[in-house]
Every structure is written in structure tokens, then in C-alpha cells.
Amino acid sequence: MRASKKDDEADARTRILDAAESLFAERGYDASSTARIARLARVPKGLVFHYFPQKIDVLIALIDERTFIEELTEEAVEAVPGDPAGTLRRLARRFPLRASPAMRRILFREADTHTSVRDRLGRLNSEVFGRARRALELALPGARGDQARLEAAAATFAAVLIYQENLSQLTGQAVDPDAVADLIARALGAT
């Protein structure tokens, strides 16, 4: 009987987080009340506060538990000397963020107003930028003296990877990371 109660509690907490994820992605954090979260989760409002004393705790739990950034060592970056475009294409295919589309929307929507979300997005940016910079250094070993250009190229590629979904929503056009990789390689004079 005891295990069943624990299962029910875990299920209620999961339903609360599922409801919050759905609402925050659709409406935004500020427009989603705890009462609405409770209704969608099919739990009493007091149970939301039992698990999450403040509404912000729901957002923090979502960010902490439902977004994962894979960190790689420098040695794990796959680069082909002389092929920066191919190297960047491989990097794009190993995008380090593991999160549902709804969680991605939450990350970008709430980063301006919530520190925990901004911190997670900053960590993602640092990881992608570091990978791109290291990959370009390995792909263009003779360009090591031109760090400013490599850093600008890495920052550009990181921004495109991280914000490609937002750019697509804003412009109605899909952003092709492979085309951006080719463009960056040409700009670095490596084609």
C-alpha cells in the first residue's frame, strides 16, 4: 500500500509539471495561473503548492528536470582538418540541447524575465559556442592566429543553431544550418 501512495504522489507531481509545461509553452509563465495548472493536471490547487511552494518553483523544476545540456570534452569534438563546413554540419547534428519542443519554447520565451531560464540558455550558448570554436580551430589549424575571426564565426554559428526555431517562426522561413556552415566556411576563406 505504501508504494502505491508514493506512485500516486509521483504521478500527481508529474501531471502538475506536464500541465505547467503545456500552459507555459502555449500562454507563457505570467499568463498561466496555478489554478489553471491544477485544473489541467486534475489535482487540487493546494497540491500544486505542496510540491511547489511558489509558482516560480514550477518553472524552475521544469527547467532543471526537463532540459538537459550535453557537455562534451574538447577531444570529443569531431573535426576534419581542411573541412570547416563539414565540421560545422557534424556539430549541428549533435546539438547538445535535449528538451521537448514545448520546453524549447519556454526557454526562449521566459529567458528575458527569469534568471534560472536565462542561466540555462546561457549555459547552452556557452556549450555550443565552445564546441563551434574548437571545431573550427581543429578544422582550420593554420588559422589559429586569427582568433577574432574564428570566434565571430563560432558565435554566428552558435546563434543560428540555438535560435533557428525562433528565426523560423519570425520569418516563416526555415534556417538551414548546412547552408550557414557553407557560408561561414566561405567567409573564412576555406572553400
Note the pLDDT tens digit of each residue in 148-190.
889 999 999 999 988 887 777 778 888 889 999 999 999 988 6
Judged against a pLDDT cut of 80, whether residue 73 lies above it is answered with no
Q: Is the pLDDT of residue 123 over 60?
A: yes
Q: What is the pLDDT of residue 19?
A: 98
Q: Quick check: 82 and 190 in contact, CB under 8 A?
A: yes
Per-residue pLDDT at 69:
87
* Residue 77: band (very low, low, confident or very high) from pLDDT cuts 50, 70, 90: confident
* Residue 98: strand pairing partners: 68
Torsion angles phi and psi, residue 102, rounded to 5: -65, -40
Average confidence (pLDDT) over 36-51: 97
Instruction: Tell me the average pLDDT across 69-79.
Output: 79
What pLDDT is stored for residue 72 in this prediction? 76
Which residues in 1-35 are b (16+ Cβ under 10 Å) and which e?
eeeeeeeeeeebbebbbbbbbebbbeeebeebebe
> What percent of the chain is predicted at pLDDT more than 70?
92
pLDDT at 178: 92
Whole-angstrom Cα distance, residue 48 to residue 13?
8
Ramachandran angles phi, psi of 69, nearest 5°: -110, 115
pLDDT band of residue 191 (cuts 50, 70, 90) is low
pLDDT surpassing 60 at residue 3: no
pLDDT of 8 over the 70 cut: no
* Phi/psi at 98 (5° precision): -110, 105
Indicate if the pLDDT at residue 87 is higher than 70: yes
How do residues 13-31 score in pLDDT, each as one tens digit?
A: 999 999 999 999 999 999 9
For helices 147-171 and 177-187, give the axis angle rounded to 10 degrees.
150
Which pLDDT belongs to residue 95?
A: 85
Which of 19, 111, 131 lies closest to 63, judged by CA? 111
